[in-house]
Amino acid sequence: MSLPSSAPRVSASQDAVSQVRPGDETRPIPLQMAPRRRGKPPRHFADLSADERVASVVEAGEKPFRAKQLATHYFTHFTSDPEEMTDLPAASRAALAETMFPQLIRPTKVMEADGGTTVKTLWHLFDDAKVESVLMRYPHRTTLCVSSQAGCGMACPFCATGQLGLTRNLSTAEILEQVRAAFRALDRGEIPGGPARLNNLVFMGMGEPLANYKAIIETVRTLVAPQPDGLGMSARNITVSTVGLVPAMRKLADEGIPVTLALSLHAPDDDLRSELVPINTRWSVDEAIDAARHYYEVSGRRVSIEYALIKDMNDHGWRADLLAKKLNARGKGWVHVNPIPLNPTPGSIWTASDREVEDEFVARLRGHGIPTTIRDTRGSDIDGACGQLAAEEDDE
Ligand code: SAH
């Protein structure tokens, strides 16, 4: 990805050994709805609507049409570098770019796996909060996993980010800057396989996207707006993943933007789910599944149920049966299940289910007519897989 020389590139083979922080296993993590830090990043071009961009350019003493030029540089050529904006007057180029594109995120470490087709980037934000994003290139598509918050307040005990607590929400531009960097790296041929576009975006990095609703919905609007007003992505290729914040799931349905919704369920019964996904004490399994079904009805988009298979925790045959029963009770063809073998996180006592147990779990769901696909654990060798993002600079 576009890097200053200060960001060291590390490949999987040189990867730092995961550090177990003493006390991780026992420290109780409280649910946290409000961020610890409230400082706001500077306003950036990507925070603005098309109208606001024009107003802001005029305010900076430029002609209104400059807004379109800047948008083209940013959203079509993926640059915020004044040197590359040769259609702007040389005298005001640098000042304009500085006002419109303050540097919000700085890559400080890049780790690669899979021959450079999986790239995890650690970003430092203006206030030194840290987040990570992971770019994954497959033969016929490219996917970026972005962070929507620094840390996370949802406290899921099997997730590395959940152990950090919530530092703060990211702004729209802080999220879009992660996306622009990916588009740019692909466009410039920096990822092996030749120049490409970003096809898929998943809000499965750090944070609970629906707890940062306003910023993520504005991000989605810009992702789907045609170039040069936005990045021209297809809504169906954008996945918003949630622990099940029911009111926000319903609000998302009302937006009328057919993004894919993923519900991180991890257990079909309230007793266990309240342990694995603490927000379940607020909105139960049934309420979360009802909201997912509602999303399908309003958007027509098939919903994904995420289910990390944790050995001897949630991987029992009867739980697969109960999950299928609850999903089928709400109709056919509206949902599919994505089990994923648990990715290990530092200090956790839990491991992935055995292969036969995983196979049995999948077979039972399919047997009940539920489309089921095992999710891949790409990036696990650089702690870049689902649930492993902890934004640590542990080897410097
Ligand atoms: N907060 C959102 C999005 C971030 S996590 C959510 O929970 O949905 C993205 C996905 O990774 C979620 O389905 C989450 O439950 C899952 N996940 C978290 N930790 C994991 C781990 N250790 N192994 C596998 N999946 C994990």
Query: Measured from the CB, is residue 177 less than 6 Å from ligand 1?
Result: no
Task: Report the atom number in ligand 1 closest to the C-alpha of 388.
Answer: 22
Q: What is the DSSP letter of 15?
A: P
Predicted local confidence at residue 344, as pLDDT = 87
Task: Report the atom number in ligand 1 closest to the C-alpha of 264.
Answer: 13
Task: Report the atom number in ligand 1 closest to the C-alpha of 306.
Answer: 13
- β-strand 118-125 against 260-264: which pairing, if any? unpaired
Q: Which amino acid is at 295?
A: Y
How confident is the model over 12-40, as pLDDT tens digits?
443 333 333 334 444 557 888 877 766 79
Residue 317 φ/ψ region, left for φ over 0, alpha for ψ in the -120 to 50 degree band, beta for the rest: alpha
Q: What is the DSSP letter of 76?
A: I
Q: Which amino acid is at 132?
A: E
Do 362 and 327 meet the contact criterion of CB atoms below 8 Å apart? no
Residue 298, Cβ density class (10 Å: 0-12 exposed, 13-18 middle, ≥19 buried): middle
Nearest to 366 by CA among 310, 327, 312: 327
Is residue 90's pLDDT more than 50?
yes
Is residue 395's pLDDT more than 80?
no
Straight-line distance from the first to the last Cα atom of the chain, in angstroms, rounded to the nearest whole number: 20
What does the mean pLDDT of the chain come to? Answer: 91
What average pLDDT does the segment 234-248 reach? 98
Identify any residues that bridge with 211 across adjacent strands, giving them in sequence order.
Answer: none
Mutation test of ligand 1: which of 311, 386, 388 has the most ligand atoms closer than 8 Å to its C-beta? 386
Distance CA 209, CA 187 (A): 27
Output the pTM of the full model.
0.92
Distance CA 391, CA 388 (A): 9
- Say which of 112, 132, 218, 358 is annotated catalytic: 132
Distance 11 CA to ligand 1 centre (A): 24
Q: Compute CA 281 distance to the chain's CA centroid, rounded to the nearest angstrom.
A: 24
**Angle formed by the axes of helices 50-59 and 90-100, nearest 10°:** 130
What are the distances in angstroms from CA 120 to CA 115, 130, 136, 188, 262?
13, 13, 9, 17, 22
Do 378 and 114 meet the contact criterion of CB atoms below 8 Å apart? yes
Angle at 267 between CA 265 and CA 272, to 5 degrees: 125
How confident is the model over 339-377, as pLDDT tens digits?
999 998 888 889 999 999 999 999 999 999 999 999 887
Predicted local confidence at residue 137, as pLDDT = 97
Judge whether 386 counts as a catalytic residue: yes
Residues comprising the chain, all counted: 396
Predicted local confidence at residue 379, as pLDDT = 83
Ordered alpha helix ranges (H), the chain:
50-59, 66-71, 90-100, 172-187, 213-224, 246-254, 270-276, 285-299, 317-328, 355-367
Look at the alpha carbons of 75, 77, 82, 85 in this order and tell me if their dihedral is positive or negative.
negative
What average pLDDT does the segment 237-256 reach? 98
What are the distances in angstroms from CA 139 to CA 72, 89, 111, 301?
28, 42, 20, 25
Predicted local confidence at residue 26, as pLDDT = 47
Identify any residues that bridge with 260 across adjacent strands, giving them in sequence order.
Answer: 239
Judge whether 145 counts as a catalytic residue: no
Q: Which amino acid is at 27?
A: R
**Band (173; pLDDT cuts 50, 70, 90):** very high
Reading the block at residue 331, the tokens are 């109709």
Predicted local confidence at residue 18, as pLDDT = 35
